[in-house]
Amino acid sequence: MSFIAGWLIVRRYTGRKEIEMVALAVGIVLVVAAVLMCLPGVLGWWGDVLAFLRGSVPVLAVLIGAVAILIGVADIKDKKEAEKEEQEEAKAEEKAGEKAEAKQE
């Protein structure tokens, strides 16, 4: 791993494209390493990964539920505002109609 870090430091000053390619290569290596670590039998972390996933399900459910509640409340507020605007427009049209009738008389 120190070889990669040293190579990154040396390549950092040579140009932007090389850095982007190095970042891509490091990302691919890390993803492959993570997959290998999670495979049953390689490091034996599969049970820990499953325990983490099982523990994260309730937390994700709470977060998703909270977001759904916030969206619902925002929709209700928007509907109330839209109804209020429609009523104001109707009142404004009535007043404009009354003024037009008064001018005609």
Shared-domain flag, residues 23 and 61: no
DSSP single-letter state for residue 13:
T
Residues 60 and 99 in one domain: yes
Instruction: Quick: pLDDT tens for 49-87.
Output: 889 999 999 999 999 999 999 999 999 999 999 999 999
Which pair of structure tokens corresponds to residue 61?
A: 């459910």
What are 18-37's pLDDT values in tens digits? 667 888 889 999 999 888 88
Pair 19, 11: CB distance under 8 Å: yes
Q: Which helix (H) or strand (E) holds 97?
A: helix 46-104
Domain holding 12, by residue range, is 1-38
Give the Cα separation of 68 and 75 in Å (integer): 11
CA dist., res. 58 & res. 52, Å (int): 11
- Domain assignment present for residue 47? The answer is no
pLDDT for the residue numbered 9? 56
With respect to residue 13, please indicate whether it lies within any of the assigned structural domains. Answer: yes
Q: Give the total number of structural domains in the chain.
A: 2
User: Is residue 103 in some structural domain?
Assistant: yes
43 found inside a domain: no
